[in-house]
């Protein structure tokens, strides 16, 4: 990549970082992407599955096709990084690097548009609503794979703590399945000085919170992986009243569908038991999110070959992460591979979903180069 394009990508990335939009509200981000595609002379369709954009670049006589994907949404986090291009939207920031992913895909489009050595069709998928908004499913429901044919699809996530520009390709699972968990604990309210006349949902919630942590340690094979994390609890409005209801919310992650089923059954069982013990009603709700992100073998190897061909450092020994990824839905419909590209050191709070995070602009050439390279390899040229 020449320096002019690299500098341009840095400017684009910092603009996106300064103007983040949360899940399902990526209208300006989408318009920015459309404007850049117009400058590159690449036709596109907007409004796919919400604010999604799909650009199509065709060259030569080949009927082969491939998809490249990037996510566009930000998070409801107040930025504290102090960088010059920090968020100008209070309470919203690109704390996961989707600004960099979007820019990398624009960079790959620029590289492929100026490269006469390949033949076929590349679909550039700019996905909205990755952070729990079901953007991948919405695009699929809007006919993504019918309207924009692709034989396989590839994507990446930046990875803090992995050396900048190093690409990790997993042989097994890449990221976990995710489910949202909610418990409504219904008791009987009353005066805090007369607890014997109440059914305290706070006490029951506390025991439920601890009991849930025994599921992974005592129900899941130690050679498997699972996480249950309760993240919020809401109850009560007065310091001298035992409330009538408490609500707990959190997440559950696994790396195998069979383990997910076992953990869900255990959650139901534990909730019923705690409710009976304390004389309260506990209503658990489990909402399944993305499945496990697992690369298909041929595309996994193709991605590794593209990394080596680009002269980038390659890692094949990274363990899967318990984070979830919407890209998994695309892999339910097409073969493909999802890789990690190192973002550099994570010190000082530069890890994902931290208020100090910032995407490393120095890896934009590597990320764009990988995406363009794996597309060419998938097309057979």
Task: Write the DSSP symbol of residue 197.
Answer: G
Q: What angle do CA 132, 136, 140 make, to 5 degrees?
A: 145
- Beta-bridged to residue 251, according to DSSP, are 180, 229
pLDDT at 48: 98
Chain length of the chain: 381
Class of domain 3-172+295-378: alpha beta
Task: For residue range 318-338, list pLDDT tens digits in order.
Answer: 999 999 999 999 999 999 999
- The DSSP output letter for 90 is T
Nearest to 337 by CA among 289, 369, 305: 305
pTM: 0.92
Q: Where in the chain do CATH 3.40.630.10 domains reside?
A: 3-172+295-378
C-alpha of 241 from chain center: 41
Q: What's the whole-number average pLDDT of the chain?
A: 97
pLDDT in tens, 347-377: 888 999 999 999 999 999 999 999 999 999 9
CB 328 within 8 A of CB 291: yes
Indicate where the chain has its CATH 3.30.70.360 domain(s): 176-288
Among residues 122, 144, 132, the alpha carbon closest in space to that of 47 is found at 144
Buried b (16+ CB within 10 A) or exposed e, 212-224: beebbeebbeeee
Q: How far apart are CA 323 and CA 257, in angstroms?
A: 15
pLDDT digits (tens, 9 = 90+) for 262-311: 999 999 999 999 999 999 999 999 999 999 999 999 999 999 999 999 99
Question: Above 80 in pLDDT, residue 381?
Answer: no
What CATH number does domain 176-288 carry, 3.40.640.10, 3.40.50.720, 1.10.2020.10, 3.30.70.360? 3.30.70.360
């Amino acid at each position: 990549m020449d320096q002019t394009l690299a500098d341009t990508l840095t400017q684009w990335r910092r603009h996106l970082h300064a103007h983040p939009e949360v899940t399902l509200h990526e209208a300006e981000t989408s318009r920015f992407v459309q404007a850049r595609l117009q400058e590159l002379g690449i036709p596109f369709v907007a409004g796919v599955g919400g604010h999604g954009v799909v650009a199509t670049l065709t060259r030569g006589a080949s009927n082969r096709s491939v998809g490249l994907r990037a996510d566009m949404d930000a998070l409801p986090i107040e930025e504290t990084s102090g960088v010059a291009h920090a968020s100008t939207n209070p309470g919203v920031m690109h704390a996961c690097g989707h600004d960099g992913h979007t820019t990398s895909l624009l960079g790959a489009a620029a590289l492929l548009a100026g490269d006469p050595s390949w033949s076929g069709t590349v679909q550039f998928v700019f996905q909205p609503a990755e952070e729990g908004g079901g953007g991948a499913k919405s695009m699929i429901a809007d006919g993504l794979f019918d309207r924009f044919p692709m034989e396989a699809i590839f994507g990446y996530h930046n990875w803090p703590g992995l050396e900048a520009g190093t690409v990790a390709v997993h042989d097994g699972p890449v990221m976990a399945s995710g489910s949202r968990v909610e418990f409504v604990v219904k008791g009987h309210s009353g005066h805090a000085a007369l607890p014997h006349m109440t059914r305290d949902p706070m006490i029951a919630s506390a025991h439920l919170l601890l009991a849930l942590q025994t599921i992974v340690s005592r129900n899941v094979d130690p050679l498997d992986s699972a996480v249950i994390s309760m993240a919020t609890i809401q109850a009560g409005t007065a310091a001298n009243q035992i409330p009538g209801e408490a609500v707990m919310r959190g997440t559950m992650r696994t790396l195998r569908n069979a383990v997910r089923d076992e953990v869900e059954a255990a959650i139901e069982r534990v909730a019923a038991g705690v409710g009976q013990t304390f004389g309260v009603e506990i209503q658990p709700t489990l909402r399944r999110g993305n499945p496990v992100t697992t690369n298909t073998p041929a595309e996994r190897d193709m991605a590794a070959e593209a990394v080596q061909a680009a002269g980038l450092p390659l890692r094949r020994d990274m363990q899967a992460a318990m984070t979830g990824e919407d890209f998994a839905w695309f892999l339910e419909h097409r073969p493909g591979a999802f890789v990690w590209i190192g973002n550099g050191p994570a010190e000082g709070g530069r890890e994902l979903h931290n208020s100090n995070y910032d995407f490393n602009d120095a890896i934009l050439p590597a990320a764009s180069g990988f995406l363009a390279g794996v597309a060419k390899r998938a097309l057979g040229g």
